[in-house]
Chains A and B, each alone.
Chain A
Amino acid sequence: MTSPRVVRLVVLLLGVLSASTASGEPIAHREVLPNGIVLLVAERPAVPIVAVRVLSRAGAAFDPSDRAGLANLTGALLTRGTAKRTGPELDSAIEFVGGSLEAGAGRDSITVSLAVQKKDMALGLDLMSEVMLSPTFPQAEVARKISEIRAAIKRSDEDPNAIAGRVLSRLMFPGHPYGVPVEGTQESVGRLTRDDVVKFQQEVMRPDTTVIAVVGAVTVAEARREIIGRFGAWARPTSAPRSITEATAPPAPGEETVKRELTQATLMFGRPAIRQTDPDYFPLVVASYVLGGGSASRLYSRVREESGLAYAVYSWVQPSRYGSALFVTSQTRTTEAPKVIVMIREELARMTREPVADKELALAKQYLIGSFPLRLDTSGKVADFLVAIEDLGLGLDYADRYRERIGRVTALDVQRVAAKFFPPAAFSRVVVGEGK
């Protein structure tokens, strides 16, 4: 529990979207089923397990503006009852074979995740297709889940990172769905009804915006047969899928302090950025890594190693389908918060003023390129990666392209992109702490 740099692992996990395999071979078999589902299959025969992800573009970004938390509630209810089984029956069935079946929503999508031993694949896929295609949303389960989510929201108000993240999203994305918490608010969730959930599931979850990845001890032929047999009859609606406007930078960044009786202040800076489809994304990733990506980064060296002001200090780029964001965060004792804020602002500004040193650049590039295979070392991670690159429209060659693009980044590129994205005045800022 007490690792010194556990924070780095968090950063690495967040960075998984920009990862891929090291080989030059296609990372997976890909095909589009007649109803529009994109099926991806990667064979990993060595360990007798199968990981499956079903990603449906039906995340919180699609919540009606007066129904914040609807996608999240819908996702959480998928496993709470189907035409064939009650929620407890689903739980018992998957857990009896030691597998797991989870469903939930993020900003862009609802994802259902399955992990089973190979011998239990048919059962696992039966359950998975039931929760996707025939959820019943019993009224008692809806009421139960609403009170559970409201309690979880209440509880998260004691977590300074959760508080800071919520406030920062609101400041960074005013007027855009990304500014609203995925889970909604206690009030908005309290207003949701079963009818809202049924309508959302029927209208927003559809085969032509769904991606399925099957990874593990399974052949392409087998995976195709099993998936087409269960999901092939899911009818594609005649209407066009809904689209969401891209998030743009707010007219003016905001600053807020949330008072809490804590011994540390949690500082979080953020601003809208760009995603993988923009060529400047790659220099931006390198710039963020030099600034606060690892334990050789400028912020880690200055704030943690040289000044002993923080255990956690890091920066990262978080790409999403309808917008991307650049974050810097740290936690420090209350009295030193102003000092750390100044350091972060100074280091952001320095990135815009001077080119990074050759050594820093080389380290960042070598790390980002060299650590690829580590980020895809389990079937679950590969499945997550596959549905993400498909949903973000990055193509199966993204792995190779990423390495190639990162490899080409120069110190001038980094400075140019930093000049665009790192000026401190463009960041919104939240401080949680500073006493009652």
Chain B
Amino acid sequence: MRLVTPLLLIAALLVPTGAHAADRVVAATLDNGLRVLLLEDHRSPIVSFQVWYRVGSRNEQRGATGIAHFLEHLMFKGTPTHGPKQFARLVEENGGQDNAFTSQDVTSYFVNIAADKLDLVIELEADRMQNLTLDPKEIVSEREVVIEERRTRTEDDPGGFLGEEVGSIAFKAHPYGYPIIGWMEDIKRIAPDEIRAFYKTYYVPNNAIVVAVGDFKAPETLEKVRRRFGRIPRGRVPPPVVAVEPSQNGERRVAVKKQAELPIVYLAWHVPSQRSNDAPALEVLSTILAGGRASRLYRDLVYQRQLALEAGGDYSYFAIDPNLFWFWATPMPGQTAETLEKELIAHMDRLKSEPVTEEELARAKNQIEAAMVFQEDSIHRRASLLARFEVIGGFTLKDSFIARIRAVTAADLTRVASTWFAPDKKSIGILQPKE
């Protein structure tokens, strides 16, 4: 997921990847290609039912950025059977909570609800997978809502604005450089026909994953899902994303002036996806640098030397394609963005030449492993985690995740730092408060 504000990045770090045994998951692929993952959890009489479409800003084209997210909004606008506003209303009057999010790689819809309402949710989700109305009138008003959302998240948010700028200079060929919410001009322009075509292309059962965790009998639920979703015809295979980001040759830099109280620094390096053998080391490295108050960036920059109000970093283990390793810092009043840029880079350089301590390595591994256990406490998070692993190659990857993390050595960290954090492969963004 593309999370560009420091707070969200921190939240993402605390909820990373992982594996308890993906033990009792009942997995099936229906005849129409729909992937189904079901996990019984009988602690409470509730269920988390989620539909993940393998489409996000990664699947967009220049001139139509933000279309995946725009469509996500419109998925709440009704079908011929369940008219506008009915979806949320039905969920609420049955005591459920629903929402959705769009990332670079996926668009995900979830309903958390009493387990005896599962049939209703299956009906609603299957209906909007196939029959979305996409009424032009609804598109007109929802466009304004999305524009307001962009104003809140980007135009009026210094961190959000800078993150978007840095992402867009870091990628020149791959769509990971597009903002998920889309450029303002694109949001204003995108035509209803384009949205309809996008829906028809990507919202097909063979491009979706249904995941449910909760108080049900898996064989019975699988039958219900098969009966209802199974009626939806298989679609054509959506076009693959073929763009490959060329190797970066030279540092890139963007400077922004905005109304803000303190400067912000972002650094981003191109790194490989989890398919690479270097991925587990990158995950451990991001925890050593930025996982908690004992981590290097916090202890040195925030705590000991008080150069930064905040400092952190994040690796997106769950990205489908090679993405960025982000660092950020907010200088304390009286400190400069330039100082923080140098300090962040110095931390990377130190990792290249000096092995981390045994204690640091053990702590990071324990933190990653414990985070996996904590996630098991929430049915919503259990379901999301299965889906995330499924998106990057299969839910059973969850089982090998901890073993991969445990195998990382101090020498691996030195090696990946030297391999991936070269000076001419980084993008830098600095936001200065406007006077």
Question: Which residue numbers of A lie inside 8 Å of B, CB to CB?
Answer: 1-6, 8-9, 12, 22, 44, 46-49, 87-88, 91-92, 95-100, 115, 117, 144, 147-148, 150-152, 154-158, 160, 260-264, 294-296, 301, 304-312, 331-333, 362-363, 366-367, 369-374, 377-380
Contacts and interface: CB of A to CB of B under 8 A. Distances in A.
A307 B143 CA distance: 11
B377 A47 contact: yes
A156 B96 CA distance: 34
Contacts of A2: 69, 72, 101-103, 149, 153, 180-181
A164 to B, nearest CB: 13
Nearest to A151: B309
B367 interface: yes
A304 B76 CA distance: 13
Interface stretch (B31-39, B191-199, B257-265): B257-265
B222 interface: no
Contacts of A377: 44, 46, 112, 378-380
B148 interface: yes
Given A1-B153, A49-B373, A374-B95, 8 more contacts: A1-B1, A1-B5, A91-B299, A144-B303, A264-B151, A294-B92, A309-B148, A377-B46
Interface of B: 1-5, 8, 43-46, 69, 72-73, 76, 84-85, 88-89, 92-97, 99-103, 112-114, 140-149, 151-153, 155-156, 158, 180-181, 259-262, 291-294, 299, 302-303, 306, 309, 330, 332-333, 359, 362-363, 366-371, 373-374, 376-380, 434
A334 to B, nearest CB: 9
Given A1-B101, A2-B69, A377-B379, A96 B366 contact: yes
Contact of A366 (B73, B94, B363): B94
Given A6-B99, A144-B303, A151 B262 contact: yes
B366 A97 contact: yes
Contacts of B152: 264, 311-312, 331
A97 B292 CA distance: 12
Contacts of A44: 43
Nearest to B1: A1
B148 A332 contact: yes
Contact of B145 (A117, A301, A310): A310
A340 to B, nearest CB: 11
Nearest to A436: B259
Contacts, number: 220
A312 B145 CA distance: 9
B180 A160 contact: no
Contacts of B143: 308
A155 B262 contact: yes
A137 B261 CA distance: 29
Contacts of B362: 96
12 contacts: A1-B101, A2-B101, A12-B97, A95-B294, A96-B359, A98-B371, A147-B306, A264-B148, A296-B85, A309-B144, A371-B95, A377-B46
A152 to B, nearest CB: 6
A306 B100 contact: no
Given A9-B99, A264-B152, A1 B4 contact: yes
A9 to B, nearest CB: 6
B92 A98 contact: no
B293 A4 contact: no
A264 B303 CA distance: 35
B149 A4 contact: yes
A362 B141 contact: no
Given A147-B306, A366-B95, A158 B260 contact: yes
Contacts of A156: 261
B58 to A, nearest CB: 14
Contacts of A154: 261-262, 333
A304 B145 contact: yes
Given A310-B148, A370-B114, A305 B85 contact: yes
A126 to B, nearest CB: 17
